[in-house]
Amino acid sequence: MTTHIDGVTRKEFRAVCPRTRLQWAKVYSRATANTARAFLREAVGKLDIRAVQVDGGSEFMAAFEEECRALGLPLLVLPPRSPQLNGIVERANRTARVECWSQYRGELTCAAMNEALAAYLDYYNNRRRHRSLGMKTPAEFARMIEAAA
């Protein structure tokens, strides 16, 4: 997702578990295969990732594809101009724009924005209840699924 605030552009990568809605996200100054690869490495440590679905942007080439192979993660590339196939992430992006970025008044450095994003993700994953999850938080829902397995 691209964020524009006061003439400054930042690129936000977001991973969303389609089952639990748990999220991990990070802001970078630009979107490249290497920043996508760095994000994937961090996301694997935060979420139980079994496959990766991307919108086909040019940042998802070369180093990112190699990282997916190295981690044994299937990479699914969506056709161009098909946001309807990526609904969960598109909805997560919209929610982040409304609940996080529309209210953000901090510095426009990646470090400051990532600090605000981390606080938002803590709220989203651990305190924000979701109708789609039976009014549980994503973390509660994930624990429930794990206990049932």
| pLDDT tens digits, 91-120 | 888 999 999 999 999 999 999 999 999 999
- ∠ CA 123-100-15, nearest 5°, is 70
- What is the per-residue pLDDT across 43-91, written as a single tens digit (0 to 9) for each? 998 888 888 888 766 666 778 888 889 999 888 888 877 777 778 888 8
State pTM to two decimals.
Answer: 0.86
Q: Yes or no: say if 95 and 74 are a contact pair by the CB < 8 Å rule.
A: no
Residues 6+ apart with CB under 8 A from 83: 55, 90
Q: How far is CA 26 from the centre of its chain?
A: 7
**Cα distance between residue 102 and residue 1, in whole Å:** 14
